[in-house]
Amino acid sequence: MKPFILNWPKPSFRLFKNKKRLLFPILAIAGPGLIAANAGNDAGGIATYASAGAQFGYRTLFFMLLVTIALVVVQEMCARIGAYSGEGLGSLIREHFTIRQSSFALTLFVIANIGLVVSEFAGIAAALQLFHVSKFISVPIAAIFVWTLVIFGTYKRAEQLFLILSLAFLTYPVAAILAHPDIKLATNQLLTPHLLYSRSFLLIGVALIGTTITPYMQFYLSGAVTDKGIGPKEYPKERISTIFGAIFANVISMFIIIATAAAITKRGPLASAAEAAIGLKPVAGQFAKELFAFGLLGASALAAAVVPLSTAYAVSEAVGSERSVSKSIREAPIFTGLFTIQVIIGALVALIPGNLINTLINTQALNGIITPIILVYILIIANQKSILGEAANGYVFKTIATICVGVIGALSLVFTVVTFASWFGIKL
Amino acid sequence: MVYKFHLPSNKSTHKRLKDLSDALVSLSGITGREIVNQEGQILGSLVDLVCHWDSAETYPPLTGIIAKVARRNVWIPISYTESIKPNRIKLNDSKLDLREFKPRNGEVRLTKEVLDHQLIDVDGARVVRASDLYVAYIGKQPRLVGVDVGYKPLIKRLGPSVFRAKVSPDSVIDWATIESFGNQDSNQPKLKLSANRQELRKMRPGELADLLEDLGRQERQELLKVLTPDLAADALEEMEPKELEGLLRESSIESGSKYLASMEPDEAADALRDIDENLRNDLMNIMPKDKSSRIDRVLKYDEETAGGIMNTILLFAKQEDLVGDIIEQLKNSESDLGSLNSIVITDGDGKLLYDLELANLLIADKNTPLKKLMKPPATVTVAPDASIKEVAEILVESRSFSIVVVDSSEKPIGRIYADDLLDVLIPSERFHFPRLLSS
- pLDDT tens for residues B228-246? 778 888 888 888 777 888 8
B149 part of a folded domain: yes
Q: Which of A4, A18, A227 sits opposite B435 (nearest CB)?
A: A227
Q: How far is B94 from chain A (nearest CA, A)?
A: 33
Q: Which residue of B has its CA nearest to A218?
A: B436
What's the CATH number where B354 sits?
3.10.580.10
- Minimum-distance CB partner of B245 among A91, A99, A229: A229
Set of chain B residues whose Cβ sits within 8 Å of the Cβ of A223: 434-436, 439
Of B214, B352, B353, the CB nearest to A322: B214
What is the count of structural domains for chain A?
Answer: 1
User: Which residue of B254, B272, B439 is the best one to mutate when testing the A interface, meaning the one whose CB has the most A CBs within 10 A?
Assistant: B439
Q: Look at residue A256 and tell me if it is in a domain.
A: yes
Count of beta carbons in the 10 Å neighbourhood of residue B19: 10
In a domain, B307, yes or no: no
Domain check: are B131 and B55 in the same one? yes
User: Between A86, A89, A309, which is nearest B433 by CB?
Assistant: A309
Q: Residues B6-23: pLDDT tens digits?
A: 433 444 444 555 566 667
Distance from CA of A326 to the nearest CA of B (A): 6
First-last CA distance in chain B: 26
Which of A33-42, A301-310, B93-102, B263-272 is least confident?
A33-42
Judged against a pLDDT cut of 60, whether residue B196 lies above it is answered with no
Confidence of residue A151 (pLDDT cuts 50, 70, 90): confident
Residue A169 lies in a domain: yes
Same domain, B362 and B226: no
Tell me, what's the pLDDT at A378? 95
In the stretch 50-109 of chain B, residues with CB closer than 8 A to chain A read none
More confident residue, B241 or A207: A207
pLDDT above 50: residue B275: yes
pLDDT of residue B169: 67
pLDDT tens digits, A60-83: 999 999 999 999 999 999 999 999
Percentages helix, strand, coil for chain B (3-state, rounded to 5) are 40, 30, 35
Q: Does B369 touch chain A (CB under 8 A)?
A: no
- Report the CATH number at residue B232: 1.25.60.10
Least confident of A18-27, A114-123, B41-50: A18-27
B430 confidence band (pLDDT: 50, 70, 90) = low
* Chain A / chain B CB contacts < 8 angstroms: 180
CA dist B406 and B412 (Å) reads 4
Q: B52 with B178, same domain?
A: yes
pLDDT band at A114 (very low <50, low <70, confident <90, very high): very high
Mutual angle of helices B205-214 and B241-250, in 10-degree steps: 60
Does A425 map to a domain?
no
B288 and B232 share one domain: yes
B254 has a chain A CB within 8 A of its CB? no
Number of other CB atoms surrounding residue B439 within 10 Å:
27
Same domain, B115 and B226: no
- Decide which of B147, B172, B192 is a domain's last residue: B192
Percent of chain B with pLDDT over 90: 2
Report the percentage of chain A scoring pLDDT > 90.
35
Torsion of CA A195, A198, A201, A203, to 10 degrees: 130
Choose the final residue of a domain: B244, B276, B300. B300
The verdict on residue A352 lying in a domain is yes
pTM for this model (two decimals): 0.80
Residue type, B433: F
Q: Which of A2, A99, A338, A377 to mutate to test the interface with B (most CBs of B within 10 A)?
A: A99
pLDDT score, position A116: 92
pLDDT at A101 over 70: yes
Closest CA to B266 of B231, B214, B323, B312: B312
Same domain, B186 and B108: yes
Instruction: Evaluate whether residue A22 is within a structural domain.
Output: no
> What is the helix (H) or strand (E) element at residue B172, kind and residue range?
strand B171-174
Q: How confident is the model at residue A12 (pLDDT cuts 50, 70, 90)?
A: very low
DSSP code, position B378: P
Structurally, how many domains does chain B consist of? 3
Indicate the angle between helix axes A135-151 and A288-318, nearest 10 degrees: 50
For residue A365, tell me if it sits in a domain.
yes
B43 and B154 housed in the same domain: yes
- Residues B43, B125 within the same domain: yes
- Partnered with residue A413 across adjacent β-strands are none
B291 falls within a domain: yes
Closest CA to A376 of A101, A111, A87, A114: A101
Structural domain that includes position B341? 316-424
Q: What would the mean pLDDT of A165-179 be, rounded to a whole number?
A: 82
Its domain, for residue A304, covers 34-79+109-222+249-369
Residues from chain B contacting residue A24 (CB–CB below 8 Å): none
Q: What is the mean pLDDT of chain B?
A: 79
What number is the ipTM of this complex?
0.72
pLDDT classification of B193: cutoffs 50, 70, 90 = low
A87 vs B116, B406, B439: nearest CB: B439
Average the pLDDT over each of A232-246, B191-205, B267-281 and give the range with the smallest value: B191-205
Is residue A357 within 8 Å of residue A51, measured between CB atoms? yes
Cβ distance of A326 and B432 shorter than 8 Å: yes
